[in-house]
Chains A and B, each alone.
Chain A
């Protein structure tokens, strides 16, 4: 965020949304980290006069924002697309209550699943929950639309959704700084039962209000600047929204375009006007035929998903090819190269657990986090992964289905933050309905995958201030788990013993694997001592190699090389530790039976 000239800033979409929320005078913001939404809350936490927090999950985050809105201040909740599923319960009823202070829900969708388990199209939520949704195309629009979203929210008495995608959230562009505004609402305790107490009788009254306000929103959408017709060649006209608009502008710069800044509700008259202007109407949108379905329901003929893919991200080339096949340049074919998938870091505590699981004959029900990488070779120790918190009930369900056949074969693995997000209720169920599935909680003291966000078990707030620290062992005991173990995952051999003991039990058990993420600032600052290989002792057993640590590599001997170097002639190679990459976890040393891996003495 460096100023280039007065008022011009270079920012990501997420930074721009934080700035927009600040300029709109947001007072309370809550959310749960999730790519590609995380940086909104991180950046917002740096602004004066805004209360920000990480909630344990998205439902809580939205409910906090609803509470703040009821108290008359502008409030925001941020989350990734699948987080809105978790927050859907309060969302659908907040649509009925409406707001006091402006209430904005940011949904960061991830077409192409860069960092997600599905690519659901959250525009469908705006339709289903009957709330307006704005959809910016780039960081500059994102900032302006957050401000607009707060205004609309108060004008129409409704939560407003702002939908971004990865290519808005993590794209950087030039953004203009604006003025700081405040809400027209008044902060205070507002007792308005007819609006806030959604008992059936009262909800039925609000149900009518919902339709009235959506009608007002439709009327507003007809004349609003954010839904604009850009004149051009009318032989082929495009209706588009969000980042797809940019691809249309690149691929068909001369064409007439109706750019929708609000993707729900739709401006029917404006769409009819545009459709009548052009000879051929094409709807360009990523993922679902959302605009297309509603435009076709108006009785308007158009092309859409008959040409534009309904899976993955779009880009200029895809849009151009879909509409004018064979128009692109001839491309070089890719060359076959060894893949470079993401990997757990050198020194990652999760590796010790997954190494052990890969050696136990168990089904591993996994969860969402860095540790999902335990699925990849050489560890290959994850057999299921569905959504946040699902690991625990899936293991329980399997155990119930398998009965005795499943005894000592079902394990679930979940991170600390994910356990708090939605694993606790699953554990309560495991205890209440009694299955012997073992739960491993990977407590690395932080929410890792999204880039080091604090959580209720890390002991710090979003601003790094000390906070109450959830005692995971006490929690597990409190819900009725009689067998709670804590292990140091870097001691691979000792951890295996405990895991085996827990799995053999006929009652619910929890193993808490506790060691901090190596990316934590305090871990980076500690100047780790490196392990190194005493290569003369290495017998080429590959025990350490099977850990899949990026700091350990294997060198295959050429013919005759083993003997020439003084090894047995049958030895196939040696392993070596890159002392610069090594992060001092010692997992490899705890596995080596030949005294070939030793901890160094000095700091590297």
Chain B
């Protein structure tokens, strides 16, 4: 129980980041950790880059992660995996959904989506765990569970038994989506194992 950690969730408004971070938090709390999570609402949510910062440990004061101190980043989009580089350190793990969402400047032909964008991470000795979350979500029969696939992939790196997550999913997801979300979680967890 001496473990502590800093998790950064990043992606694009509307990708289900908040739900993914909530499932993660509840699992950590159920395992007996203290936690704080910081989100930003309002203007940034309209299709812009969004983050949620989650810190856990025996006792957590600050809700904000210090630069250079992210242990694990969960990125829901490839470019958003690289945008917060100053928060990472050598050996940080980045679980990344290998999806591209074009920002306006790219969609309107004014800029290009960078090639091999994840090389910025691997070249700095950051551990990249690519996850095709959409493909896995489609395989379990519901593309909207991509965010839970990501939680599953993240879970392999956290000091919490998978049963805790499954309990949280059972408690928080409406019954008709419960089974498919449990499968999505398992599919994601398999990737990282």
The reply on B113 being an interface residue by CB < 8 A is: yes
Q: Do the beta carbons of A173 and B108 come within 8 Å of each other?
A: no
Nearest A-chain residue to B37, judged by Cβ: A172
* Chain A residues within an 8 Å CB radius of B159: none
Any B CB within 8 A of the CB of A449: yes
Residue B160, interface by CB 8 Å? no
Asked if A339 meets B44 with Cβ closer than 8 Å, knowing A171-B38, A172-B36, A378-B108, the reply is no
Say yes or no: A315-B66 contact (C-beta < 8 A), given A10-B26, A115-B41, A337-B83. Answer: yes
Please give the distance in Å from B132's CB to the nearest CB on chain A. Answer: 18
Task: For the complex, give the distance between the alpha carbons of A39 and B82 in Å.
Answer: 31
Chain A residue numbers with a CB within 8 Å of B26 are 2, 4, 10
Given the contacts A250-B62, A553-B102, A554-B109, A36 and B42 also touching, CB distance less than 8 Å? yes
Answer yes or no: B89 CB below 8 A from chain A CBs. Answer: yes
Q: How many residues of B contact A (CB 8 A)?
A: 56
In the bound assembly, the distance between CA atoms of A345 and B12 in angstroms comes to 13
A171 and B36: CB pair below 8 A?
yes
Interface positions of A from 546 to 590, Cβ below 8 Å from B: 546, 548, 550, 552-556, 573
Whether the pair B66, A316 counts as a contact (CB closer than 8 A) is: yes
Residues of A contacting B: mostly: loop
Assess whether B172 is interfacial by the CB under 8 Å rule: yes
Contact segment of A195-203, A323-331, A434-442: A323-331
B9-48 to A contact mask, C-beta < 8 Å, 1/0: 0001100000000000110011000111111111111111
With known contacts A337-B83, A550-B47, A167–B29 Cβ distance under 8 A? no
Q: Is the CB of B66 within 8 A of A317?
A: yes
Whether A316 touches B64, Cβ cut-off 8 Å, given contacts A170-B41, A332-B124, A342-B13, is yes
Within 8 Å of chain A (Cβ to Cβ): is B106? yes
Most buried by A among B29, B34, B40, B69: B40
Question: What chain B residues lie within 8 Å of A545 (beta carbons)?
Answer: 108-109
**In the complex with contacts A138-B36, A339-B103, A246-B63 CB distance below 8 A:** yes
- A contact residues around B62 at 8 Å (CB): 246-247, 249-250, 315-316
CB-defined interface of B67-83 with A at 8 Å, one 1/0 digit per residue?
Answer: 11100000000011011
Q: How far does the alpha carbon of A548 sit from the alpha carbon of B107 in the complex, in Å? A: 9
For window 144-173 of A, CB contacts with B under 8 Å fall at: 166-167, 170-173
Please state if B79 and A337 are interface contacts (CB–CB under 8 Å).
yes
CA distance A340 to B44 in the complex (A): 10
Please name the residue on chain B nearest to A116 by beta carbon: B42
Quick one: closest B residue to A540, CB to CB?
B109
Closest to B126 in A: A332
- The answer to whether B47 touches A342, judged by C-beta atoms less than 8 angstroms apart, is yes
A335 interface hit (Cβ, 8 Å): yes
Q: What CA separation (Å) do A328 and B60 show in the bound complex?
A: 19
Known: A4-B26, A338-B111, A548-B104. A115 touches B68 (CB 8 A): no
A337 close to B38 (CB less than 8 A): no
B108–A554 contact, CB under 8 A?
Answer: yes
How distant is the Cα of A437 from the Cα of B175 in the complex, in angstroms?
56
| CB-CB nearest in chain B for A370 | B46
Is B40's CB under 8 angstroms from A170's CB? yes
Q: State the CA gap A4–B62 with chains docked (Å).
A: 22
Q: Mark A468-508, 1 if CB is under 8 A from B, else 0.
A: 00000000000000000000000000000000000000000
| Chain A nearest Cβ from B30, distance in angstroms | 6
In angstroms, Cα B171 to Cα A249, docked, is 35
Q: Which 4 A-B pairs have the closest CB atoms?
A: A115-B42, A35-B42, A342-B48, A342-B46
User: Contact residues of A with B, CB < 8 Å?
Assistant: 2, 4, 10, 12, 35-36, 38-39, 114-115, 138, 166-167, 170-174, 243, 246-247, 249-250, 315-317, 328-335, 337-345, 370, 372-373, 376-378, 449-451, 542, 545-546, 548, 550, 552-556, 573
